[in-house]
Amino acid sequence: MRTPPKRHRRLLRAGAAGAVAALLTLSGCGGSDSADGKTTIRFSWWGDDGRAATTKSVIADFEKANPDIKVETETSDFESYFDKLATETAAGDAPDLMTLGGAYPREYSDRGALLDLKTVSDELDLSKFPAATLSAAKFSGTLYGAPTGGNAIAMITNPAVFKAAHVPLPDTKSWTWEQFADIANKITDNSPKGTYGFEPRVIDTLGVYAGQRGTPIFDAKGELGVQESTVQDYFSMEKDLLKGGGIPSAETIQEVGSAAPEQTLMGRGKAGMSIIYSNLLGAFNQAAGGGLKLVTIPGEHQYKQPGTTVLPSQYYSISAKSAHPEAAAKLLDYLINSPAAGRKILDDRGLPFSPEVKAAITGSLDSAGRANADYVDQVSHNGAPAAPDPPAGGSSLNDITSKLDSDVLFGRKTPEAAAKEWVAQMKQALDSA
């Protein structure tokens, strides 16, 4: 699904979502006019220190080109970002320009928190963006977010771990989930203690697993499309991997699930395989000392259709309460359409959708960046069509899946019971949205 990279997702809680609705009765703050006559706007995003440094450098360039605009920045780790954003929005004090992902554009727009970007079309040019890249933030004909770039879910492998375990690399153009599980178990069996065949991280893998069976998580009507049996099969596969040793203990999975790349098993050279978002290859490759490879997800040729697709990795949206929407739109346009900005950001927020920016960064991409670009191109040609837009309430998906997945791995629930509860909780989340 279109959620930000990594298994460690923490999504908007019901109480926070209700608080967002309260913004409709509150006056907005947003940016302001500073004493020196400049228009001041606020911009928020999540990410690590490297992303923060790059973004602030890009903002400095923007301010030089627009001396009448001052940009104040707000950044945090992903774990706390959406809780903070919900609180600010409920108080009528949302950042002028914010970063969103997954079902958040829908949820915030449904509550009147986001600006119709058509109203700032003089400052924001999206004419060269493929229509499909805008669909996940366009509701009832109104566009509420502009994509930062695209990526795709991919399997990442460490050939050195395979070699040390005397396990041959698979034919990833045709491998099945059963072959994947067998390989994971063999790597663990033949490796030193603490090294595993597979490190589970991206909970969105369930979306790929379901899509391959022709039943995406959400159908075109915004209703639950995936079958309970598919969810049960997915939980059973992880349970079998745990029993076979192909994945670490439930405690270890929980411990490293929210870790930065350098603290993960893959980043420490202690995992043969993991599933990530393709634009994170560089971060994991750097942590592991190089040599990691992106390959096709298992099952892409096993079932009815491919399950992977090119996804907008994040969206930039403007607060409906912004006092300076035109200035916010100028910054947004610079972030996604400026080749100069692109040469600094590269593919950190996904491979750019702007043809000019993509062309500008191609020569500057390192080997990991080029591998990501090649993989995204491959998926764009061979992958599935874009999944239906996440409905309101869809942001509960990862919390529900993560919790029940943990219940299965810790032995608190059987895969059958967890799948049944998963369907019930998802339907409740959609019905109450």
Distance, in Å, from the CA atom of 68 to the CA atom of 87, rounded to the nearest integer, reads 29
228 and 197 in a common domain: yes
178 and 119 in a common domain: no
Listed in sequence order, the residues at least 6 apart from 424 whose beta carbon sits closer than 8 Å to its beta carbon are none
Q: E strands within 303-424? A: 311-318
Nearest-10 crossing angle of helices 205-212, 228-244: 120
Q: What share of the chain has pLDDT > 90, as a percent? A: 65
What is Dmax (Cα atoms) for the chain? 67
242 and 361 in a common domain: no
74 and 114 in a common domain: yes
Q: Give the model's pLDDT for residue 48.
A: 86
Where on the phi/psi map is residue 6: left (φ > 0), alpha (ψ -120 to 50), or beta? left
290 and 249 in a common domain: yes
Q: Which domain holds residue 335?
A: 14-148+313-380
**CA nearest neighbour of 187 among 260, 247, 237:** 247
Question: What domain count does the chain have?
Answer: 2
pLDDT beyond 80 at 374: yes
Examine the fold and report which residue of 356, 380, 404 is the final residue of a domain before the chain moves on. Answer: 380
302 and 158 in a common domain: yes
Residue 2 domain-assigned (yes or no): no
140 and 248 in a common domain: no
Predicted confidence (pLDDT) per residue in 156-209, tens digit: 999 999 999 999 999 998 999 999 999 999 999 999 999 999 999 767 899 999
Residue 162 domain-assigned (yes or no): yes
264 and 157 in a common domain: yes
Amino acid, single-letter form, for residue 28: G
206 and 137 in a common domain: no
Q: Give the model's pLDDT for residue 220.
A: 76
Residue 250 domain-assigned (yes or no): yes
Residue 88 domain-assigned (yes or no): yes
Report in angstroms the alpha-carbon separations of 338 from 95, 345, 357, 358.
22, 10, 7, 10
Q: Are 408 and 235 in contact (CB under 8 A)?
A: yes
Predicted confidence (pLDDT) per residue in 100-148, tens digit: 987 788 889 988 999 999 999 999 999 999 887 888 788 889 999 999 9
Residue 298 domain-assigned (yes or no): yes
Examine the fold and report which residue of 343, 359, 380 is the final residue of a domain before the chain moves on. Answer: 380
Q: Give the model's pLDDT for residue 389.
A: 63
Examine the fold and report which residue of 359, 380, 401 is the final residue of a domain before the chain moves on. Answer: 380
Distance, in Å, from the CA atom of 271 to the CA atom of 273, rounded to the nearest integer, reads 6
27: domain CATH number is: 3.40.190.10
Residue 6 domain-assigned (yes or no): no
Q: Are 199 and 248 in contact (CB under 8 A)?
A: yes
69 and 211 in a common domain: no
Residue 388 domain-assigned (yes or no): no
